[in-house]
Structure 1
Amino acid sequence: MESFSVLQFLKDKTILVTGATGFLAKIFVEKILRIQPNLKKLYLLIRARDDKSAKQRMFREVIEKDLFRVLRDTWGDSLDSFILEKVAAVPGDISYEDLGIKDSNLKEEMCRQIDLVVNVAAITKFDERYDALLDTNTMGAFHVLSFAKNCTKMQMLVHLSSAYACGEKSGLIPENSFTMGEMLKWPRQLDIMAEKKLVEQKLNQLQTTGAAEDEVTSIMKDLGMERARWYGWPNTYVTIDSPLIAYGKGKIDCLPVNSQTIFDLIPADMVVNSMIMAMVANANNPSSQMIYHVGSSLRNPIQFFQIHEFVFHYFTKNPYIDKYGNPVIVGKFKVLDSPAKFHKYMAVRSVLPLKVLKLVNLVLCRRFDDICNEFNRRLKLVMVLVNLYKPYMFFQGIFDDTNSEKLRRAMRESGVELDSFNFDPKSIDWEDYFLNVHIPGLLRYVVK
């Protein structure tokens, strides 16, 4: 890679980006448009009824976001015309064949022009309906691959996935792929068509019995969690943000967690930088099927007790202001080093007092309904978070990133501007990152 090769590689390229309104895709799109305005075209696949709706979503949920302020400052009043020239919003959905693109002329045009496909589309909720997860995260990836194979100029497909798809492994986890049907719980084999048939049978059964939509949704979510556990996956996706926000709001004050557990965290801009560099590095090797772990657990590990200290320090100095204008005073997490200890603690601290409160409420003609409901809501929130995060609170794996380190070494040797495309986890100062970047960003852009 020569020093100019990144920009040279992107020049005159046509790129299809799926999941275009999602978190990582927006960062990728902004970076590409900012560093190489001379690309040929970006096709953004967006769930929408028609062209007009897709374009509206593109501007409302992507271009008009604060993330694009540098581009806005650079282009000024010309930004919209630049976007309309370089970016095309395509109504579609990866859960359908041909990505749900109904306009045959547009589809043929895309297949003739596209050089690169970046698949970032996925459902990232823990407990989404199993039918929706299969359609998007499994069949969707297959549909993207099939579409890419029909692109005559196709150079590369970049697919993103959570490294925690490894399940509850321990030790050093290599950058290896699974063989078709391979499962974490050997000798079980995954048959996607059998899973789809199982879902169809369950949906038909629920329809026959006249189940309400809420009941169908609940049952399909439970089925997804059940099948994930059967095959060895604890959940689908994880970020640490929900517990952090709940803690700052005073909603939770204890967690079942090993304080020495290493959390594999990586800033989103580093993920995008690694995507771009991986494309450049593999451009002349069309048969390459490289897997890159972009993480921190091997080279710059951060443990729960460190995160705990940073978060406590932040919310002590900068308390969250509740809807009544009052500061929320937080204490340190009570750390319970096993699920059994946590459930015992909750039984004494919350479950038993709630039962007593409900009894008193009945005796006093439901005078304390609001208090009971709020108490019950908080308890449910804690239990949901704990059940979802429990596998990660005791996770014992470390993600090997040998391939990523080789890519970083190639960057250094070729003279690529490291500040512009840095994805080295060793460069992260975790205290500075949490106190000055991550938590303030959550409060500004995520917390409602």
Structure 2
Amino acid sequence: MSVIAAFYGGKSILITGATGFMGKVLMEKLLRTSPDLKVIYILVRPKAGQSLQQRVSQMMNCKLFEKAKEICPNIFEKIRPIYSDLTKPDLGISKEDLEELLTHTNIIFHCAATVRFDDPLRHALQLNVIATQQLLFMASQMLKLEVFIHFSTAYSNCNLKHIDEVIYPCSVEPKKLIDSVEWLDDSIIEEITPKLIENRPNTYTYTKALGEMVVYQERGNLNIAIIRPSIVGASWQEPFPGWVDNLNGPNGLIIAAGKGFLHSLKATPKAVADVVPVDLVINLTLAVGWHTAVHRPKSILIYHCTSGSLNPCLWTDLGFQVLATFEKAPLEKAFRRPNADFTTNNFSTYLWNTISHMAPAVMYDFYLRLTGRKPRMAKLMNRMLKTISMLDYFINRSWEWSSRNTEMLMSQLSNEDQKLFDFDVRHLNWLEYTENYCLGIKKYLLKEDMAGIPAAKRHLRMLRNIHYLFNTVLFLIIWRFFIARSQMARNVWYFVVSLCYKFLSYFRASSTFRH
């Protein structure tokens, strides 16, 4: 029997961020492995035209929950949606719902956060820090609470090269910053943001670090642990390989490469793509929830969930594996044939962005205008390049994360739990994982039918022929206006042609002699 699965039986569990990528996988795993749990409370943000129950039904009527429904037929009875808005006082929860949560909740998984890198500081602070502060206050009043699990990120301290499983102090006290933001004007906050975040790349990593500080300062008597995953990718094994449903992390880059929009990327040759499968993160989370509740450590333990130190994969290797997969199973309606050139400095990156991205986009927009359609490609390319510039910091750096607590926890699991809640990234085969990742994006995110692969391959062949034709025309233009007017260029050209002819003649003669 699984000790971890048995632990969650009969429990009332609160999950924030349950409608997000990790929240869904967390719910699915809980329902599949512990179908006798009592209830899962999920905080659901209101949406125009949809009731809470409609939102839940829409979310759960997808392939992700198919296995869970077989094991737990009364799955909808296990889910209790609660109207909530993290931007409002008391998280926007009604008095009746709050009373129910305070009376019954045993476990909290705090997954909710804004993961946008370009969020204004005020908004990021509200969702990643103030909402955490309010949830902690709520948790301190819960009569039956056994454990509080807080999701952070391995990049919360990305200003450091080596990161230990400890909470690092911030230069500004979170409470003082929260008080200041309440009365400061938006323009002033925008002006001081670069000074506040200092050597961190964005408001996301900064506010996640502040969130950890708030957890530490306001923990009181709560039994708390913090999970720090790196870049969370598609599922590895559970409930099936390759499930993904959003454009976060590397997903947008993979689609851009597969569709032929992205042909060039700045990537340091030895930079590690610290991607971890979402099911591995959730397995660790559930193991941490059990261990923290049962053993009640004296201090807050941090658990790193990263791959770079134990099973590294370089960004360049990942890129070539993605392209190889899309050669076998192309995405539909590609803009160009998938290809990748990796640059290493700013000048070559700018040059290739102009040649490989903006020039084709401008030409395609010109074609759209000629055919009476609205130009859109240059705008799309600009948006893609902006996204890549925000990811540049993470693609061109590598970090060292200690994982003593994670390894300690692994050693304390029974053989059954090590199988059912496997979070050992050393077992991951990157080639197989990347292929399933790309196919998952095609099937589950883009909703493309695998039966359409032959047509997609024909489309790629057509794009290849157009590419060859364009290069031929371009060469003839260059020849006509540049080479043909220079005697020296003609002499060089004739020398190269004659040399090639001699080589061909030599190989033909050698082949005839052997026969």
Q: Among 229, 232, 236, which residue is 2:204 paired with?
A: 236
Deviations 1:34-79 (A, max 9, x none): 11122122111111279x8222211112x2121110123345xxx3
Deviations 1:3-55 (A, max 9, x none): 542133112111111111111111111111111122122111111279x8222
Shift of 1:96: 3.1
Deviations 1:222-242 (A, max 9, x none): 769746753523463761111
Confirm whether residue 342 of structure 1 aligns to residue 333 of structure 2.
no
* 1:120-135 → structure 2 map (5 Å cutoff): 120-135=111-126
Q: Identify if the C-alpha distance between structure 1 residues 229 and 197 changes in structure 2 by more than 3 Å, giving closer, same or farther.
A: closer
Q: AA paired with 2:121?
A: Y
Shift of 1:193: 4.1
Question: 1:209 aligns to what?
Answer: none
Question: 1:289 aligns to what?
Answer: 300
How far apart, CA to CA, are the structure 1 residues paired with 2:11 and 2:192?
39
Question: 1:114 aligns to what?
Answer: 105
Contact 2:258–2:338 (CA under 8 A) maintained in structure 1: yes
Confirm whether residue 261 of structure 1 aligns to residue 271 of structure 2.
yes
Q: Among 388, 395, 398, which residue is 1:393 paired with?
A: 395
Q: Among 60, 68, 71, which residue is 1:71 paired with?
A: 68
Contact 2:119–2:204 (CA under 8 A) maintained in structure 1: no
Question: 2:497 aligns to what?
Answer: none
Question: 1:59 aligns to what?
Answer: 57
- For the residue of structure 2 that corresponds to 1:31, the secondary structure is helix
How far apart, CA to CA, are the structure 2 residues paired with 1:347 and 1:403?
47
The alignment of Structure 1 onto Structure 2 pairs a total of residues equal to: 403
How far apart, CA to CA, are the structure 1 residues paired with 2:325 and 2:34?
37
Contact 1:11–1:36 (CA under 8 A) maintained in structure 2: yes
Contact 2:12–2:40 (CA under 8 A) maintained in structure 1: yes
Question: 1:216 aligns to what?
Answer: none
Q: AA paired with 1:305?
A: T
Moved more, 272-281 or 63-72: 63-72
Q: Unaligned regions of 5+ residues in structure 1, if any?
A: 183-187, 207-219
Shift of 1:109: 2.1
Q: Identify if the C-alpha distance between structure 1 residues 258 and 224 changes in structure 2 by more than 3 Å, giving closer, same or farther.
A: farther
* 1:133-212 → structure 2 map (5 Å cutoff): 133-170=124-161, 172-179=162-169, 182=170, 188-194=171-177, 197-198=180-181, 200-203=183-186
Deviations 1:334-367 (A, max 9, x none): 1111233312433465667888999xx7xx9x75
* 1:301-380 → structure 2 map (5 Å cutoff): 301-322=312-333, 328-331=336-339, 333-347=340-354, 367=370, 373-380=375-382
Confirm whether residue 439 of structure 1 aligns to residue 438 of structure 2.
yes
Confirm whether residue 39 of structure 1 aligns to residue 42 of structure 2.
no
CA-based RMSD of the aligned residues comes to: 3.1
How far apart, CA to CA, are the structure 2 residues paired with 1:13 and 1:136?
27
TM-score by length of 1: 0.81
How far apart, CA to CA, are the structure 2 residues paired with 1:98 and 1:153?
20
Contact 2:117–2:390 (CA under 8 A) maintained in structure 1: yes
How far apart, CA to CA, are the structure 1 residues paired with 2:70 and 2:185?
53
Q: Identify if the C-alpha distance between structure 1 residues 349 and 433 changes in structure 2 by more than 3 Å, giving closer, same or farther.
A: closer
Q: AA paired with 2:86?
A: I
TM-score by length of 2: 0.71
Question: 2:84 aligns to what?
Answer: 92
Confirm whether residue 402 of structure 1 aligns to residue 374 of structure 2.
no
Shift of 1:99: 2.5
- For the residue of structure 2 that corresponds to 1:291, the secondary structure is strand
* 1:269-288 → structure 2 map (5 Å cutoff): 269-286=279-296, 287-288=298-299
- For the residue of structure 1 that corresponds to 2:385, the secondary structure is helix
Q: Identify if the C-alpha distance between structure 1 residues 262 and 357 changes in structure 2 by more than 3 Å, giving closer, same or farther.
A: closer
Q: Identify if the C-alpha distance between structure 1 residues 339 and 234 changes in structure 2 by more than 3 Å, giving closer, same or farther.
A: farther
Q: Identify if the C-alpha distance between structure 1 residues 261 and 369 changes in structure 2 by more than 3 Å, giving closer, same or farther.
A: farther
Shift of 1:164: 1.4
Q: Identify if the C-alpha distance between structure 1 residues 153 and 406 changes in structure 2 by more than 3 Å, giving closer, same or farther.
A: same
How far apart, CA to CA, are the structure 1 residues paired with 2:41 and 2:92?
14
Q: AA paired with 2:87?
A: S
How far apart, CA to CA, are the structure 1 residues paired with 2:281 and 2:438?
19
